[in-house]
Amino acid sequence: MQNILKNKTISGWLMVSPLAVVLLLFLVLPIVMIVAVSFWRATEFSIIPDFDFENYEFLFGSSVTYRVFINTFKYALITWALTLLIGFTVAYYLAFHIRTQTWQIALFLLCTIPFWTSNIIRMISWIPFLGRNGIANSALMSWGITDEPLEWLLFSDFAVILAFVHLYTLFMVVPIFNTMMRIDKSLIEAARDAGANGVQILWNVIIPLTKPGIMIGTIFVVTLVMGDFITVRFMSGSQSANVGRLISNDIALLQYPSAAATAVVLLLTVLIVIGIMLRFVDIRKEL
């Protein structure tokens, strides 16, 4: 018995067995199931095991699919750019302009607390701000910028992106701040002594050293946006679509095989994107 426990592989797997069981039952099996069902047929009331490519043929034969995928990438790209810009600036401020650690921790916590509250509530909370009679419109009209309320503030692509940025900027701030805190301050002093100005230090020292954090943040934001369906549905007032909504609409119509086929394509897309990004960063080393 003692010898068995000394074996690294066996003792390792004993320790991770609960984890492995959870991942097997609730991650691997569901994926297998989705792949299987994507080849099934659906009638009005039930789904029937089968092996035919009809769901995929329909998916790739429809112009809607391409439009929706392009839309999904559009959301991901714009959200990524905005969260990176905001997240980097915030992390940079916290890491290099705040001088005491107590303040750093306090302000960092202030940035992360919303992450632990409900996303749905945070989406709902934009209604009084963006609505037809909301704060934004009243302000714009009282300043004389517009004569009548802007209709595109709520329930539009603008609202969707705004909500994404609102929800997910934290996912950029945290990893970028984490890598910035590990930058050896003497490197920056050395750059300054060598005559670099602030912009040069930022561009040639800080940004290259922060790349792993940026990559991790990017992975989070891109996957969250690409897999989302609820933000798009709620903030666009069901007027825009992304792949997640395509899937959830099929689910609502009980068209599980069709939903599964779309899900398989979405999963592959996300995994390819992540696979490319993981080539640039070793996550385990960066933790």
Report 106-145 residues binding another protein (CB under 8 A).
107, 109-111, 113-114, 116-122, 124-129, 131, 133-135, 138
Under the binding rule (CB under 8 A), the answer on residue 27 touching another protein is yes
Size of the site for another protein (CB under 8 A): 83
Q: Does the protein bind another protein through residue 251 (CB under 8 A)?
A: yes
CA distance 128 to 124: 8
Q: Is residue 206 at the binding interface for another protein, with CB under 8 A as the rule? A: no
User: Within 45-84, which residues bind another protein (CB under 8 A)?
Assistant: none
89 binds another protein (CB under 8 A): yes
183 binds another protein (CB under 8 A): no
Residue 150 is a binding residue for another protein (CB under 8 A):
no
Q: Which of 262, 197, 282, 209 is nearest to 59 (CA)?
A: 262
Q: Which stretch binds another protein (CB under 8 A): 14-22, 51-59, 63-71, 185-193?
A: 14-22
Between 63 and 117, name the residue whose CB sits nearer to another protein. 117
Measured distance CA(177)–CA(93) in Å, rounded: 9
Residue 65 near residue 59 (C-beta atoms within 8 A): yes
248 contributes a contact to another protein by CB under 8 A: yes
Q: What are phi and psi of 272, to 5 degrees?
A: -65, -45
Provide, rounded to whole angstroms, the least separation between the CB of residue 84 and another protein: 14
What is the pairing mode between strands 41-42 and 47-48? Answer: antiparallel
Give the number of residues written for the chain.
287
Please identify which residue in the block is written with the tokens 């705004």: 162
Rounded least distance, CB 16 to another protein, Å: 5
φ and ψ at 18, to 5 degrees?
Answer: -60, -40
Please say which residue, 70 or 106, places its beta carbon nearer to another protein: 106
Q: Would you give the distance in Å from CA 150 to the centre of its chain?
A: 29
